[in-house]
Structure 1
């Protein structure tokens, strides 16, 4: 997925980027609450002249891309718990997960992103928070499941699985990492083990024009390709 930085200016209306220094200790997960909005639209909303809210976030992710809207060493107003030194607003990186399009792909992108951020900081999934944990708001709402928060547990499990993969990858000898080329174009890396190459199913399938979906409950990857 594409990761790009498109920072809102300091001085953006309603104090959305106050520029307060932040040394984050957690990562907070949100849903956008808008079933038809993309990452680009959410970024645009932060500087939309009709937006009168004092609310902002660091990163937004959808099925196609990740946009960093506020530097991760500055605070944003996303946790709903005020401006105290120990508040989520002042200590946590806020990540918005879009609800539009292929939500399964968006969730997978979000899990990949979060696992990367945790690994980079030497953190575990115990550093993850819901918006709900700071202010009691039912968010991320698509993980709520009537109060059971089943979706939240599944998301944390998906992040942990990707963390495990990253640890395993870091232990693989460089001479067993192989390039995977589809129709003359490199699409990903694989690992050679015992004469068998293991590679991410999504990268190869999508390079061949197939659609990939993930069912977290049954832990099933489904690859579908329509006949031409």
Structure 2
């Protein structure tokens, strides 16, 4: 797993124009630098000797993901206006253990898809937009990369569904342990007047359907008490 770091670069026309936009896809790149880490890539964006009009949103390596530009802003990464204005740019580092880098990139992209309710068809290559041979380390294995993202997305969805179900059951159980007073009034009245035995048992079953035998027995006792009067 990786550490996610938010360290936005200052606004500038050549790197971070500060233009708010609506994202519709994710574009994957390789850094083309076998030695730089995600933080190195981020720091290069603010280096005084870097005069290129190029940037990205998140760089990911074997241990960190660094967000350099907010995901709702334009970055200059895709080579076309449409790609720049509608796609989140992910730089996958070529340094470090590439097995871990691959796994981290898969997880990061799957998380981004899940949060936006997107499917894997939203994941593009740099080559898709401009024809550039990028991401150069992933293009030959792109179908495998997408399948891994799809599997991770399904795993994330499954885990979140289990968590939501657990939370829902917990809330229901808490509600049963401490039901509102209006639910308890009938049980407490009948118990206090001798028409219901074992009040605690019935309070614990307060949201369950009442068995027919219990209903009949209760009506029988009410009828008997009425005849005595």
After TM superposition, is the score higher than 0.5? Answer: yes
Structure 1 partner of 2:57: 58
CA deviation profile, 1:173-210 (whole Å, cap 9, x unmatched): 438xxxxxxxxxxxxxxxxxxxxxxxxxxxxxxxxxxx
Whether 1:131 and 2:131 are equivalent positions in the alignment is no
Whether 1:94 and 2:89 are equivalent positions in the alignment is yes
**Structure 1 stretches (4+) deviating beyond 3 angstroms?**
none
Structure 2 partner of 1:174: 166
Structure 2 partner of 1:221: none
Alpha-carbon distance in 2 for matches of 1:99, 1:161: 23
CA deviation profile, 1:15-38 (whole Å, cap 9, x unmatched): 211111111000000000111110
Whether 1:3 and 2:9 are equivalent positions in the alignment is no
* Unpaired stretches in structure 1, ≥5 consecutive residues: 146-150, 176-228
Whether 1:161 and 2:161 are equivalent positions in the alignment is no
Structure 1 residues 71-82: aligned runs within 5 Å: 71-81=70-80
Contact 2:26 2:123 in 1 (8 A): yes
Instruction: Say which one has the larger Rg.
Output: 2
Measured on the aligned residues, the alpha-carbon RMSD in Å equals 1.2
* Unpaired stretches in structure 2, ≥5 consecutive residues: 168-229
TM-score normalised over the length of structure 2: 0.69
The structure richer in strand per residue is 1
Structure 1 residues 106-125: aligned runs within 5 Å: 106-125=101-120
1:133 CA drift (Å)? 0.3
- Local SS of the residue matching 1:109: helix
1:89 CA drift (Å)? 0.6
The structure richer in helix per residue is 2
- The number of aligned residues is 164
1:154 CA drift (Å)? 1.0
Structure 2 partner of 1:152: 142
